Amino acid sequence: MLCNPEKYPNLAKLNSPAELRDLPKEILSEISKELREFLIDSTSQCGGHFAAGLGTVELTVALHYLFDTPNDKIIWDVGHQAYPHKVLTGRKEELLSIRQTDGLHPFPSRFESDYDAFGVGHSSTSISAALGMAVVAKAKGDERRFVAVIGDGAMTAGMAFEALNHAANLDANLIVILNDNDMSISENVGGLNNYLAKVLSGKFYSSIKEGGKKVLQNMPTISEWAHRVEEHMKGMVLPGTLFEELGFNYIGPIDGHNLPALLTTIENIKALNGPQLLHVVTRKGKGFEPAEKDPIAYHAVPVFNPKETELPKAKKKRTFSNVFGQWLCDMAATDERLMGITPAMREGSDLIAFSREYKERYFDVGIAEQHAVTLAAGMACEGAKPVCAIYSSFLQRAYDQLIHDVALQDLDVLFAIDRGGLVGGDGATHHGAFDLSFLRCIPNMLIMTPSDERECRLMLSTGYKHSGPAAVRYPRGAGIGASPGSDLETIDIGKAVVKREGKHIVLLAFGSLLQIALEVAQEIDASVVDMRFVKPLDESLLKELSQNHERFVTLEENAISGGAGSAVNEFFMQQNIQRNVLNLGIPDRFIEHGEPGDLLRRCGLDKAGVLQAIQA
């Protein structure tokens, strides 16, 4: 039993929020303590998202204690803060399986639990989703409550403010909890702020405020003066003027680890009508000192020993991200026009060295992918050479900007697209399964898929020196270990490379599946081509190969629909070249989380799967 009753006497008895609500308030602090210890113990055994969940323990306990979940809905944003939620909603004994093949989903999922009101993985969606639910409930005369918990940087995205702006106009009974875990605000937390939050959320203050409005409504000059005095007084002691101007009743900031204050404040807010915003300040990694000191390192962790002060250092393999990071610094040293842009993924995309060596040319825009792309477009208009480092699944959020602001104007922007293909434990929300498909249909785009580290560096240089928009799409993790070199050479655009000559069958590999193609070719004596370019294709080579090969197999770690293989099909049809073509890639379904090798096997993209498909 994972949740040992001897170690966790209170938590072990809880199997649902309903059971939590039957407990006296006095025991909730002990529940929170056990929950935090359980998260440290379990996540250290299985790995996963860590620091964010430690910061939401008391908040999660308070919400499930005060709201009638799952009838009332809690909509979590940036789902890695929801591990405590999973524990309290009947999934604690399965926690060791999280992010594993066939295990618990890494984020809230409507397919996993009735308590997961909205599926999440990307950020800044909670307010919009909760508002949509609240609007329908209001139309039905339904008095259920809807709570959006947004935090961990998600308020930097424009979508959150679009939803806030709309919510005030609809006057729905929506509660937004801003989980602010930015430590720079810590000095604002204390007894005075907790007291103010209780007062501002209480019926006494609310009744005076509403009564005063009625008294003063026939005296507009005095009414306006009173409103301004109230707003300025709040502005002097509270950072909520912006939210008040948007139409929310702002309450806070309140210490998100002070459980009695949370319970009192949220209970008061429940009695208020209209849009409410509670600002809670939490500490990412709370209760585990190493994570408090370095919340970035402990954001997502491997298996580790909680008694040790440092995370285990795995054997360092050079990843594709590392190749990009080094190339970026090398190219910046030769060209002062280079600008590096990331939407809050400095560590993941490996812009760490660049951000230190070229501070004036480094731009982290926060979780704001749309802005990142149009910022790059604006830079290119003034003669800069912007490089936008972005995860494949996050680029989806800026598709209009990619088309309208960059490609339509044929601007010099290089997209370094990380996490192309199946990424593993983060699952369907993070797989880079669609980029080749949605990029290929955009005019003016140059699209490259490196098969190893050396090819990645060459393509980055090629895309950077190309006139117009270019994309280099590479996978998560390490490649075959090829040395990327230190030069800034380019390759001929649209030229593929024959890696092996065989009979009858040609395997056309796009990117990371080249090694599997070579292994398969040994078994069936096939030709293998590293296609390199998705757009433009090496049309002359395809014509040449079609003269002495009857069958073609395309391999890509991308959706089959509309992908690189589709480009080959279209070319053969246009040229009236009648050859048998088998397209292999990610099938037409969302692929769940799991070990990367397991996922490739399930998609038929391992050696055995490719052989079986060809033989069939």
List residues with catalytic annotation: 284, 369, 397
CA distances from 108 to 78, 91, 372, 471 (A): 9, 12, 27, 32
Other Cβ atoms within 10 Å of 285 Cβ, number: 24
* Rounded Cα distance, 101 and 419, in Å: 19
HEC per residue, 114-153? CCCCCCCCCCCCHHHHHHHHHHHHHHHCCCCCEEEEEECC
Token pair recorded at residue 365? 């825009």
182 bridge partner residues: none
CA distances from 604 to 100, 431, 518, 583 (A): 19, 16, 16, 11
* Rounded Cα distance, 460 and 473, in Å: 10
Q: Residue 244: which of 149, 153, 185, 168 has the closest Cα?
A: 168
Q: Sign of the C-alpha dihedral, residues 493, 499, 500, 505?
A: negative
Token pair recorded at residue 45? 């055994």
E strand spans, 206-297: 249-255, 276-281
DSSP class of residue 79 equals G
Q: Residue 39: which of 30, 50, 52, 23 has the closest Cα?
A: 50
Give the distance, in angstroms, between the CA of residue 293 and the centroid of all CA atoms in the same chain: 23
Query: Can you state the percent helix, strand and coil of the chain, rounding each to 5?
Result: 45, 15, 40
Q: What is the residue type of 169?
A: N
Other Cβ atoms within 10 Å of 539 Cβ, number: 14
* Rounded Cα distance, 474 and 456, in Å: 7
Other Cβ atoms within 10 Å of 531 Cβ, number: 27
